[in-house]
Homo-oligomer: A and B are copies of this chain.
Amino acid sequence: MSLLVVGTVAFDAIETPFGKTDKILGGAATYIGLAASYFTKEINLVSVVGGDFPKENIDMLNNHHINTDGLQIIKEGKTFFWSGKYHNDMNTRDTIITELNVLETFDPIVPEEYQDCELLMLGNLSPQVQLRVLAQLKTRPKLIVLDTMNFWMDIALPDLLTIIIKVDVLAVNDGEARQLSGEYSLVKAAQKILAMGPQYLIIKKGEHGALLFNKDQVFFAPALPLEEVFDPTGAGDSFAGGFIGYLAQTKDISFENMKRAIIFGSATASFCVEKFGTENLVGLTQEQVDDRVQEFIDLVQFDISLV
């Protein structure tokens, strides 16, 4: 199944207890696309960068089967820049700098050749921009996955609720699920959020794993216990990219297959956090991915037969 990915392509400067980077490649769509590239070769990107964005980065994306015809390059503009510093526990971070730059006036254009995409992954971005992408699609994709964050709940809730009705899978973290629903219990939060429109809800819990809900079922996948989390940036996006990439590869959007996709997404995210930025996502082998998935199987599978 062909995949359309919409989201940011950015520069990040990251500081963690393990070190510090200059401006490196980042952005939700970058992580999503790279993660998905281990599962499918039909990835189409809609995003925006400035004249400062190096051609090598575009080449690298193309080499990962990511079609960048929908990547607008605003020559006179500068690429979106985010800088953040993680605290010692790696679960919390402070944003040091946010320079929206070309993102401020981003008007997404879906190229004609992308119109037949069967899967749409809307990475974290303004709900207005996400809605403008949806409005351009002549045929509704078979599955629309939306990733968003508390920032949009704070400043653009009506637009966010408008797009949430239109998607099939919503992905948020645990704090965001609580904020959106007003419920502390994630089970109750899920029920309320599913009543807002989406058929499936993914609640990402970082190092504590992820939950997949539909109206009647719930599935849980842990995060892999790692010796060291080096840089959590992009973990949620890599998870989403592995998830949707696996669905694209297997051409099956049932709940049972989404469970498998959650495991592949978790495996991809576990690679992401082991190095700075996208460093670990650019050169994985199929064998590495399979070995990592096997670690998940070994981690959680048990054999109980109830009589």
Binding site for B on A (CB under 8 A): 88-89, 184-188, 205, 208-209, 211, 217-222, 225-229, 256, 259-260, 262-263, 290, 293-294, 297-304, 306
Flag if B302 contacts A259 (CB, 8 Å).
yes
A-B contact pairs, 5 of them (CB 8 A): A188-B228, A211-B225, A290-B306, A293-B304, A293-B306
- Nearest-Cβ distance from residue A157 to partner chain B, whole angstroms: 23
| Chain B residues within 8 Å of A226, by CB | 185, 187
Give bound CA distance, A293 to B298, whole Å. 19
> Given A187-B225, A219-B302, 15 other A-B contacts at CB below 8 A?
A88-B184, A89-B184, A185-B226, A187-B227, A209-B209, A217-B298, A220-B300, A221-B300, A221-B302, A256-B303, A259-B302, A263-B302, A290-B306, A293-B306, A294-B306
Give bound CA distance, A297 to B290, whole Å. 23
Contact of A304 among B205, B297, B303 (CB under 8 A): B297
Give bound CA distance, A217 to B302, whole Å. 13
Give bound CA distance, A226 to B225, whole Å. 23
The 9 A-B residue pairs with the shortest CB-CB distance in the complex, in nearest-first order: A208-B208, A259-B302, A220-B222, A187-B227, A187-B225, A290-B306, A220-B299, A300-B300, A260-B304
| Chain B residues within 8 Å of A299, by CB | 218-220
When all copies of this chain in the complex are counted, the total is 2
Name which residue of chain B comes closest to A213, CB basis: B225
Give bound CA distance, A256 to B259, whole Å. 24
| Chain B residues within 8 Å of A298, by CB | 217
| Chain B residues within 8 Å of A218, by CB | 225, 299
Contact of A185 among B217, B227, B293, B301 (CB under 8 A): B227
| Chain B residues within 8 Å of A205, by CB | 208
Give bound CA distance, A106 to B178, whole Å. 46
Give bound CA distance, A262 to B299, whole Å. 13
Give bound CA distance, A11 to B110, whole Å. 66
Give bound CA distance, A303 to B211, whole Å. 17
Give bound CA distance, A220 to B223, whole Å. 10
Flag if B188 contacts A227 (CB, 8 Å).
yes
| Chain B residues within 8 Å of A222, by CB | 209, 220, 222
Give bound CA distance, A147 to B209, whole Å. 25
Give bound CA distance, A25 to B275, whole Å. 50
- Nearest-Cβ distance from residue A91 to partner chain B, whole angstroms: 11
Give bound CA distance, A260 to B305, whole Å. 10
